[in-house]
């Protein structure tokens, strides 16, 4: 059998093969959800015909990326991968939604053939555009990216961010299939939220093709047209939820949600599986095809934090800011990022209409194509970066801390689960943002990411340390969140007046720095508050105060903190962050876990502040120079 080419009519043999594969997949789908007694059979059955076409005649040999944004249709994905030999079919069926295997309820990147794990709706669409853009930046005209989404999923705001982005960057190598079965989780699309799928995509500049999502020839013709288009293409597949299983199909035709997320009982499931059991002739047809065309599906497994990025990065030579330099950390970030972009063609910068504020323009000066403007679309930006990171790029995405940690937290969490390689750098954090007021003062951002397992959190103290941290995260595999303020800060110096973070300094995650040694009192600071602490000590003229700068929160250096507090017995934490979730909470936890005691005063943000300069806001919050002096005097 010859695999058909676009523009060719499918032969009877092609149709018979597709019917055989889809039938066998439907049996696997029913067995999966029945064995697990949970899952989403309805949508899996409605879109398996489309997946059968693209995987059997395309993906099986090209290994092109397929991003399934409606990740709850995992039974369909696992079944087609299993049918074509990319994963073990017995394991997939028996261990679906079981804790002893990788076949999770929503598609999992640990499964061969899954490029990006999804679940929260809307995320996968943005990830797919990231891969499509990465492919274009590589000037690779051989690879095409396939995306699937559910019709109800398009109610998510992130979907519209994705639509605009794909149009702006002319992602003609992206084809989206919308499973238009008109049924959502609890009711019909019409009753929950009528959605003009065709109108929205056309208005966003996409080419839209309607087709019967169960007609193999219609789908093949539509795919051929999509590959010839100079626009991103949306294929609206008119399907029936539960297609192939008689009792499910009846409710699907009536747009009822009975089988969207419900598994049949064991007895009913066995009857349903029998209804779609492939014949011996069909099984033989599949076997013969795979002998002639063994699968080439092979996706890279997600990486863990490693000493060096799996995508080689030249970190360049660190910049040394002189002792009298007074500048903002965000400018140091921009300078380091620009240097990295000159040295590495796989460094990209993404921003959300904040290029001047977050200082990513340095990448634009080096290579405009690698400066990716997402518009006011933080959720899309972070997911798009996740997609780019699984296709060999090292993306830095930047916005204000208040937006990165709140609007895009869901997207960052999915990147974390996927072991992506995204560098989130947030500026304007804390009260340092000043006059913009409490809506823009990110004082809870560390706690947004602290619960993640694969994202490290850093906060530099001055421009020199900022430069070192940015170069470290660039060359190191994994997700990172680097927070910094808006205001300018002095260069931190040693007692001899030379820069503390000099050319001999190497940033090490989980290591706090002793800026000044002492045995009377321990002051623990993070970010810009280190300079305020040193100024307060200088004005008081008191010796014997140990000053520790904490720049790494995940991981956190318990040992340095506890050793100092054991020596002094007294401590002050100073952090431009909510006192309940920032540095103070980390120190408190370290003390509790070690059953060590110390007298502690916590200075930080105890409630929302108003507008004002950063100095005015620090003073009002009791964490400015005078507040620090009062705390020192109280303890000494």
Domain ranges of the chain: 12-292, 326-490, 513-635
Q: Pick from 417, 425, 365, 353: which is nearest to 394 by CA?
A: 425
Q: What is the pLDDT of residues 195-249, one digit of tens each?
A: 999 999 999 999 999 999 999 999 999 999 999 999 999 999 999 999 999 999 9
Helix (H) or strand (E) holding 148: strand 145-150
65 backbone dihedrals φ, ψ, rounded to 5°: -65, 135
Transcribe 443-462 into DSSP letters: SSHHHHHTT-SSEEEE--SS
Question: CA 425, 529, 602: angle at the middle one, nearest 5?
Answer: 110
Q: Is the dihedral of CA 354, 356, 357, 359 positive or negative?
A: positive
Would you call 327 helix, strand, or coil by DSSP?
A: strand
**Percent of the chain having pLDDT more than 90?**
97
pLDDT band at 311 (very low <50, low <70, confident <90, very high): low
Q: Are 528 and 461 contacting, i.e. CB atoms less than 8 angstroms apart? A: yes
DSSP for residue 112: T
**Backbone phi and psi for residue 496, each to the nearest 5 degrees, phi listed first:** -90, 0
CA distance 397 to 381: 7
Whether 326-490 shares its CATH topology with 513-635 is answered yes
Which tens digits make up the pLDDT trace of 9-27?
999 999 999 999 999 999 9
Q: Please, which residues have CB within 8 angstroms of residue 369's CB and are 6 or more apart in sequence?
A: 137
Give the pLDDT band of residue 309 (cuts 50, 70, 90): very low
CA dist., res. 87 & res. 17, Å (int): 20
Residue 334 predicted with pLDDT over 90: yes
340: nearest Cα among 279, 423, 399, 417: 423
Q: From residue 299, how far is each of 58, 118, 141, 296, 501 by CA, in Å?
A: 15, 16, 19, 10, 41
The CATH fold assigned to 12-292 is Rossmann fold (3.40.50)
Strand order in the sheet with 552-554: 371-373, 347-351, 394-400, 423-427, 479-483, 455-458, 552-554
Instruction: List, edge to edge, every strand of the sheet that includes 174-180.
Output: 66-68, 145-150, 174-180, 233-238, 207-212
What is the predicted pLDDT for the residue at 346? 96
Residue 581 CB contacts under 8 Å (≥ 6 apart), including other chains = 444, 446, 447, 450
Distance from chain centroid for Cα 526: 26
pLDDT of residue 473: 97
Is 307 a residue whose pLDDT tops 60? Answer: no
CATH classification for the domain delimited by 326-490, as one of 3.30.70.260, 1.10.260.40, 3.40.50.970, 3.40.1180.10: 3.40.50.970
Tell me the CA distances in angstroms from 297 to 40, 64, 66, 300, 390, one per residue in order: 25, 8, 11, 10, 16
What value does the CA radius of gyration of the chain take, rounded to a whole number of Å? 28
Q: In DSSP terms, which residues pair with 237 in a beta bridge?
A: 179, 211
Give tens-digit pLDDT for 339-397.
Answer: 999 999 999 999 999 999 999 999 999 999 999 999 999 999 999 999 999 989 999 99
Q: Residue 276 phi/psi, 5° resolution?
A: -120, 20
List the one residue out of 181, 164, 180, 179 whose CA is nearest residue 232: 164
In what helix (H) or strand (E) does residue 350 lie, and over which residues does it extend? strand 347-351
What pLDDT is stored for residue 310 in this prediction?
A: 52
| Averaged confidence pLDDT in the chain | 96
Structure tokens that stand for 95 in this block = 């261990």
Q: Give me the pLDDT at residue 312, please.
A: 84
Query: Is residue 576 scored above 70 in pLDDT?
Result: yes
- For 77-101, the pLDDT digits (tens) are 999 999 999 999 999 999 999 999 9
Q: Is the per-residue pLDDT at 308 higher than 70?
A: no
C-alpha 236/C-alpha 225 separation (Å) is: 13
Collect all residues with Cβ–Cβ distance below 8 Å to 73 and sequence separation of at least 6: 40, 43, 44, 47, 148, 150, 179
Q: 513-635 adopts what CATH topology? A: Rossmann fold (3.40.50)
Q: What is the pLDDT of residue 618?
A: 96
């Amino acid at each position: 059998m010859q695999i058909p080419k676009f523009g060719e009519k499918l032969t009877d043999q092609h149709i018979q093969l597709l019917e055989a594969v889809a039938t066998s997949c439907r049996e696997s789908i029913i067995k999966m959800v029945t064995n697990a007694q949970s899952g989403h059979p309805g949508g899996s059955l409605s879109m398996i015909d489309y997946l059968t076409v693209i995987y059997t005649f395309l993906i099986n040999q090209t290994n092109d990326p397929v991003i399934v944004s409606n990740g709850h249709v995992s039974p369909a994905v696992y079944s087609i991968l299993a049918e074509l030999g990319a994963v073990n079919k017995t394991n997939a069926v028996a261990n679906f939604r079981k804790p002893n295997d990788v076949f999770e309820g929503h598609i999992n990147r640990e499964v061969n053939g899954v490029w990006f794990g999804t679940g929260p709706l809307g995320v996968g669409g943005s990830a797919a555009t990231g891969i499509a853009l990465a492919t274009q930046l590589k000037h690779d005209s051989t690879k095409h990216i396939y995306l699937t989404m559910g019709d109800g999923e398009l109610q998510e705001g992130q979907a519209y961010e994705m639509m605009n982005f794909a149009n702006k960057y002319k992602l003609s190598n992206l084809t989206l299939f919308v499973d238009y079965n008109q049924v959502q989780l609890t009711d019909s699309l019409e009753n929950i939220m009528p959605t003009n799928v065709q109108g929205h995509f056309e208005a966003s500049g996409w080419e839209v093709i309607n087709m019967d999502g169960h007609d193999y020839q219609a789908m093949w013709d539509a795919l051929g047209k999509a590959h010839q288009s100079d626009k991103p293409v949306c294929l609206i597949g008119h399907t029936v939820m539960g297609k192939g299983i008689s009792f499910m199909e009846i409710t699907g035709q009536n747009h009822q949600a009975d089988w969207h997320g419900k598994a049949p009982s064991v007895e009913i499931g066995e009857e349903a599986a029998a209804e779609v059991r492939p014949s011996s002739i069909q099984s033989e047809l599949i076997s013969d095809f795979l002998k002639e065309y063994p699968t080439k599906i092979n996706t890279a497994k997600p990486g863990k934090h490693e000493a060096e990025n799996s995508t080689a990065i030249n970190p360049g030579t660190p910049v040394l800011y002189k002792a009298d330099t007074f500048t903002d950390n965000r400018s140091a970030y921009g300078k380091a990022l620009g240097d990295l972009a000159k040295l590495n063609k796989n460094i990209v910068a993404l921003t959300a209409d904040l290029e001047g504020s977050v200082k990513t323009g340095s990448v634009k000066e080096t290579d405009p194509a690698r400066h990716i403007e997402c518009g006011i679309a933080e959720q899309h930006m972070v997911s798009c970066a996740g997609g780019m990171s699984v296709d060999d790029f090292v993306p830095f995405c930047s916005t204000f801390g208040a937006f990165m940690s709140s609007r895009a937290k869901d997207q960052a969490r999915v990147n974390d689960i996927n072991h992506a390689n995204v560098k989130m750098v947030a500026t304007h954090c804390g009260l340092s943002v000043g006059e913009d007021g409490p809506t823009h003062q990110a004082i809870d951002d560390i706690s947004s990411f602290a619960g993640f397992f694969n994202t490290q959190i850093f906060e530099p103290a001055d421009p020199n340390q900022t430069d070192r941290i940015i170069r470290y995260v660039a060359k190191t595999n994994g997700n990172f969140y680097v927070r910094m303020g808006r205001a300018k800060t002095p260069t931190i110096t040693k007692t001899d007046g030379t820069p503390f973070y000099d050319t001999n300094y190497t940033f090490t995650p989980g290591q706090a720095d002793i800026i000044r040694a002492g045995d009377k009192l321990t002051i623990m600071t993070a970010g810009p508050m280190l300079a305020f602490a040193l100024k307060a000590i200088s004005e008081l003229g008191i010796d014997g105060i140990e000053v520790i700068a904490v720049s790494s929160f995940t991981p956190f250096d318990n040992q340095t903190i506890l050793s100092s507090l054991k020596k002094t017995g007294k401590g002050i934490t100073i952090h431009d962050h909510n006192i309940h979730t920032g540095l103070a909470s980390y120190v408190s936890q370290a003390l509790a876990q070690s059953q060590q005691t110390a007298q502690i005063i916590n200075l930080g943000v105890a409630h929302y502040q108003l507008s004002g300069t950063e100095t005015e806001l620090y003073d009002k919050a009791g964490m400015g120079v005078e507040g620090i002096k009062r705390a020192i005097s109280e303890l000494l």
